[in-house]
Amino acid sequence: MDLVQLQRQLVEYRTSLYHEGFLDAQFTQLQELQDENNPDFVVEVVSLFFEDSERLLNELTTALEQQSVDFKRVDAHVHQLKGSSSSIGAQRVQKVCIAFRNYCEEKNVEGCLKCLQQVKHEYSLVKTKLESMFQLEQQILSAGGSIPM
């Protein structure tokens, strides 16, 4: 694929992510923050997000597996996940977190487990999509082109 095509593909892909609610305006902000001083800023931030989220998801899984669920703890983790997903604009993940917290408040284990599954799903979706997007960007850069805004 030639450079122009790659670039067009990237733009389309990115637009679809916004349309489908995977990303929101916060992600655009991140991109705007990227500059010559930090050319890999977005990738770095997103990588941090992936790391942190995976840790939180593991904690959540453990917490909900307990005999007697500590809802405060679960809620704290969900709150954190909500916070970090908001940092990169992972909108769908954030939305599930809101519902998740409600179940925590109600101390509804079933509801929580359901949300955990959902959030894991949304997380893996957005992760895959972002990774694909970064790959496209890399290809463009390798081809000597620049990333279109």
40 belongs to the binding site for another protein (CB under 8 A): no
101: CB partners within 8 A, 6+ apart: 75, 78, 79, 82
38 belongs to the binding site for another protein (CB under 8 A): yes
First to last CA, the chain: 20
Residue 80 or 102: the one with the smaller Cβ distance to another protein is 80
| Tokens read off for 148 | 């279109």
- What is the distance between the alpha carbons of residues 149 and 146, in angstroms, rounded to a whole number? 9
86 belongs to the binding site for another protein (CB under 8 A): yes
Residue 124 or 142: the one with the smaller Cβ distance to another protein is 124
- What is the distance between the alpha carbons of residues 148 and 13, in angstroms, rounded to a whole number? 12
83 belongs to the binding site for another protein (CB under 8 A): yes
Please give the residue ranges that form the binding site for another protein (CB under 8 A): 26, 29-30, 33, 38, 41, 44-45, 48-49, 51-52, 76, 79-80, 82-84, 86-89
